[in-house]
Chains A and B, each alone.
Chain A
Amino acid sequence: MVDLIFFLVLLLLGYVFGQRAEKRHFRSIIEREKQLRDILVFSERRIPDEDKLDGTLVCGSVVVSVDFFKRFVANLRNLVGGRVSAYESLLERARREAILRMKEEARRTGAKSVWNIRLETSSIYKGAQQSIGAVEVLAYGTAVKPR
């Protein structure tokens, strides 16, 4: 009985704080995306007119954790299969945040565009027993500015 109450409390805490954190994060992402809109990002490798430019590598990364509620929902979803929207929003958040951090670094170097952007996702585990569910997203590319 105590276990059940403990579990429900954790679930509630995860739901309340997790949803609030996610909403706040999305608001801040949308806000910063507006500010950084003038920095263009391309996945194209060839840069036009590249002899008039200077390039350097820029990276941005973020580690985002799942909350108790999301994990519970995902476990339930595992039974029947299908879209796990709890994790979709988590990954979307992480990816947009990583790209934003990369853009911020590009702005610090004075660049106007970033080329050949690559995204890499990896999960972080502590171990099977007391596993920590977290995902790291790294975004990197070549920022160029006129010389």
Chain B
Amino acid sequence: MIVTNIETVPGKAIVKHLGLVSGNTVRSKHAGRDLMAGLKNIFGGELKGYTELLTESRQEAVQRMIDQATAVGANAIVNVRFSTSSVAAGAAELYAYGTAVVVE
């Protein structure tokens, strides 16, 4: 599966468009991480726990998008975009979407 965030796949012609595919995941942080983050809020600096959590969740959202694209018979996804929104206190939704295509 080739994933790009431009309109084309470099070096390959798009044969067929298969429409929008997307993947999402909603994650919350566990109490231990929140405690550490609370401490870090006094001293400042990077919240490594959160960075890891969000990176993992984003990979999962991308994986779900890829699964969906495979299910419709695509071999590439173009024009991928990410979006993050906080649904409720302590939980965030990570969303990835793009256009599933068949390239030669």
Contacts and interface: CB of A to CB of B under 8 A. Distances in A.
Interface of A: 10, 13-14, 17-18, 21-22, 25, 45-47, 50-57, 59, 61-71, 97, 115-116, 118, 120, 122-128, 130, 132-134, 136, 138, 140-142, 144, 147
Interface stretch (B15-23, B67-75, B77-85): B77-85
Interface residues of B, number: 37
Contacts of A17: 42-45
Contacts of B92: 122, 124
A17 B45 CA distance: 9
Given A47-B10, A57-B3, A132-B34, A124 B41 contact: no
Given A55-B9, A64-B46, 12 more contacts: A10-B42, A13-B43, A21-B44, A56-B2, A56-B3, A65-B40, A67-B44, A124-B86, A125-B86, A132-B34, A134-B37, A141-B5
Nearest to B11: A51
A144 B41 CA distance: 38
A128 B50 CA distance: 19
B89 A120 contact: no
Most buried by B among A53, A55, A62: A55
B37 A65 contact: yes
Contacts of A116: 5-6
